[in-house]
Structure 1
Amino acid sequence: MPKNPNLTLGGPDLAALLCSRVCHDIISPVGAINNGLELLDEGAADADALDLIRTSAMNASVRLKFARLAFGASGSVGASIDTGEAEKAAKEFAVAEKKTEVSWNGPRAIIPKNRVKLLLNLFTVAYGGIPRGGSLDVTLENPEFDAKFIITIKGRMMRVPAKFVEVLSGAMEEAVDAHTIQPYYTVLLADECGMDLKYVVSEDKITFIAETVPAEVPAVSEEV
């Protein structure tokens, strides 16, 4: 049973909204590819049209690779994933966006895929907290066991995404939609992984943390 009262979506609705999110992310670069082809048809300068097509195709490819790890199955049920793949996907995503510098620290490890998905979804939440760009630092501590993921952002107009705050607090006022599904999925993954989510707001940075919840030690009754 989920700890957060907001986590009420059934499987079909969750799948449909995640598909909508992925489509939203790639429709812009795919549309730009089409625009480039139309420019070629209209006799525009080949170099300009080809540059638009090349840049947009790379952007679409990067977004799809990221989505495959962050939202997709990425292998069979219960599979594990190399955190190096997550690092590559995150850095390529930032390079394609051209507005945020990403650093990645911590040991490379093969861990359960839901932990990798949580890491990348928390990365997405944090990335959305610096819409004007800036820096984003990812730190992995003990990823194979009692994992702790720390993501720190710095930049102009930084803020904690409002939808993430709503879902995490358990006080959503509206139904989950295509705009809310990504932070919703982040909180759901944390619940599935047995990890707590929190954020700390400072004057010059915001830190997002996912930390493994310590296992409860069963009480030992004393015999009289």
Structure 2
Amino acid sequence: MTTSSIELASLLCSRLCHDMLSPVGALTNGLELLADEKDPEMRQRCFELLDQSARISTDKLKFFRLAFGAAGGFGEMVAVSEAKVLVDALVANNPRVTLAWALPSDSLPKAAIKTLLNFALIGLEALPRGGTLEIAAEYRDNHSELVVRAAGPRIAFDRSVGAALEGALPEGELSSRTAPAAMLRQLAVELKGKLQFALADDALVLGAMLPRA
């Protein structure tokens, strides 16, 4: 493992910890409230909050396991239904975002699934005010073709994430926020594939064409 690989892995871990802090913290707070609460109705409410926080934590861990990790247990080809379940769960707690899927292929190579999940995460983060997240993926002629479109008011997209996708991030500016995009760039380079994005005031489009390894 090279120094850059170690740095990238460390930053991905930092990103995971940052995203997990809120639901895990909510679990801790809920347990503290439950320990002091005597009212049956309030105790029931505490149990509901604990259940919600536990579910969100589990959903995020499953998502990051495949999006960032080695994803042991999966073969070289991964069912697209696995990715759909993970993204559906991630978006389920955000009623302002509507999901639309176009998945004509039953499975994709693992690298394409990782790219799809990370594109979905970037697209979701671009919709702080809500909107529509459209996800399309197809595998044909030994290539994966992926498109994720986030459409909504005042798209929020960090230009440094775009620079990381393009491989144009200045040295020393890699961070936990840009690490997932940098990982995707490395995957694309290794596969001799292509990543691209287009940004407008009301839409962000992310695309990839990835040959099978």
Place the TM-score, normalised by the shorter chain, in its bin: 0.7 to 0.9
Greater alpha carbon shift after TM alignment, 126-135 vs 77-86: 77-86
Instruction: Sort the Cα spacing of 1:83 and 1:19 in 2 relative to 1 into closer, same or farther, 3 A.
Output: same
Q: Does 1:70 align with 2:67?
A: yes
Which of 113, 116, 119 aligns to 2:116? It is 119
Match of 1:86 in 2: 83
Which structure carries more helix by proportion? 2
How many angstroms apart in 2 are the aligned matches of 1:143 and 1:151? Answer: 18
Q: Does 1:138 align with 2:135?
A: yes
How many angstroms apart in 1 are the aligned matches of 2:82 and 2:3? Answer: 29
In structure 1, the gaps of 5 or more residues are 1-7, 214-224
Q: Does 1:129 align with 2:126?
A: yes
Which of 33, 37, 40 aligns to 1:39? It is 33
Query: Which digits, 9 at most, give the CA deviation of each residue in 1:122-155, with x for residues without a partner?
Result: 1112222212221100011335722211111111
Instruction: Figure out how many residues of one structure are paired with residues of the other and give that number.
Output: 206
Match of 1:4 in 2: none
Instruction: Sort the Cα spacing of 1:205 and 1:77 in 2 relative to 1 into closer, same or farther, 3 A.
Output: closer
How many angstroms apart in 2 are the aligned matches of 1:177 and 1:83? Answer: 29
CA apart distance, 1:198: 1.1
Greater alpha carbon shift after TM alignment, 148-157 vs 77-86: 77-86
How many angstroms apart in 1 are the aligned matches of 2:154 and 2:43? Answer: 39
Match of 1:3 in 2: none
How many angstroms apart in 2 are the aligned matches of 1:20 and 1:53? Answer: 24
* SS of corresponding position for 2:197: strand
How many angstroms apart in 2 are the aligned matches of 1:210 and 1:176? Answer: 21
* SS of corresponding position for 1:103: strand
Instruction: Sort the Cα spacing of 1:186 and 1:128 in 2 relative to 1 into closer, same or farther, 3 A.
Output: farther
Answer yes or no: is the 8 Å Cα contact 2:193–2:210 preserved in 1.
Answer: yes
Query: Which digits, 9 at most, give the CA deviation of each residue in 1:48-91, with x for residues without a partner?
Result: 21121111111111101100110111126973211110011011
How many angstroms apart in 1 are the aligned matches of 2:74 and 2:138? Answer: 25
Match of 1:167 in 2: 164
* SS of corresponding position for 2:198: strand
RMSD: 2.3
Percent identity, please.
Answer: 31
Instruction: Sort the Cα spacing of 1:77 and 1:42 in 2 relative to 1 into closer, same or farther, 3 A.
Output: closer
Greater alpha carbon shift after TM alignment, 90-99 vs 139-148: 139-148
Match of 2:190 in 1: 192
Instruction: Sort the Cα spacing of 1:199 and 1:134 in 2 relative to 1 into closer, same or farther, 3 A.
Output: same
Instruction: Sort the Cα spacing of 1:74 and 1:143 in 2 relative to 1 into closer, same or farther, 3 A.
Output: farther
In structure 2, the gaps of 5 or more residues are none
How many angstroms apart in 1 are the aligned matches of 2:193 and 2:169? Answer: 21
> In structure 1, what residue type is equivalent to 2:109?
P
Query: Which digits, 9 at most, give the CA deviation of each residue in 1:1-52, with x for residues without a partner?
Result: xxxxxxx963322222211111111111011011001001111620221121
